[in-house]
Amino acid sequence: MIRLREMYESRSLIEPTESELIDGRLVRKMSPKRRHQSLEKRWALALDTWSAGRGEALAEWRFEFKAPGHKFSSLQPDVAYLSRPVLDELGPAGAEKPKRAPEIAVEIISAGDRERDLAWKVSAYLAAGTLVIFVVDPPKRTVVAHSRDEVTRFGPGETVTHAALPGFAYPIDAMFEGLYLGK
């Protein structure tokens, strides 16, 4: 029997752009609504502004990697960041669909997302070397920063910061300003 990864790698299984390979399963991504896309745009801009040309943040950028202790992954974080040295090492062709995890990932929770899939993705990112994963929960107006050493929760009135991003500061209230925050 041909395994899902082998089918994927041989391209006998064409992975739709709206799906991810999570824990050996092809999982359809939720259809992004306006709020979700606005948050993707805001996070990409915040990370690009912070990096000041030292890297690149993009929405829906696909990464393929095998993290220690995890099955092969093909993940498409809502926003991903790679530094200029990593981009230079990958080269233009390699940066199109990096065979590694992003240095920074942002996952925005959508209605219908499975908690176990999100937990697996966070674990896989960290095992593969991602410095920090920001999990954004719009209805709760919270961001949880996951890194190898700590998990930090930010809520209304607070500012998202992280040691892996010196000088980065993103106020929660500005992040969600003007957006529909219902379920």
In a domain, 1, yes or no: no
Whole-model pTM above 0.85?
yes
In a domain, 150, yes or no: yes
Residue 5 has pLDDT above 60, yes or no: no
> What is the average per-residue pLDDT within 57-74?
95
In a domain, 147, yes or no: yes
What residues form DSSP beta bridges with 135?
A: 107, 144
- φ, ψ dihedrals at 8, nearest 5°: -65, -50
d(CA 21, CA 75): 6
- φ, ψ dihedrals at 65, nearest 5°: -160, 165
Question: How confident is the model over 17-42, as pLDDT tens digits?
Answer: 578 988 888 888 876 789 999 999 99
75 CB-contact burial (10 Å; exposed 0-12 / middle 13-18 / buried 19+): buried
In a domain, 3, yes or no: no
* Residue 105 CB neighbours (<10 A): 25
In a domain, 119, yes or no: yes
Q: How far are the Cα atoms of 3, 24, 60, 172 from residue 13, in angstroms, in the given order?
A: 11, 13, 20, 40
d(CA 47, CA 165): 9
**What CATH number is associated with residue 100?**
3.90.1570.10
In a domain, 59, yes or no: yes
Domain count, the chain: 1
Strand segments, DSSP code E, in 23-161 are 25-28, 55-59, 63-66, 72-75, 79-83, 104-108, 132-137, 142-146, 151-154, 159-160
In a domain, 67, yes or no: yes
Look up the domain containing 115 and give its range.
29-176
In a domain, 14, yes or no: no
Question: How confident is the model over 146-182, as pLDDT tens digits?
Answer: 999 999 999 999 999 999 999 999 999 999 999 988 7
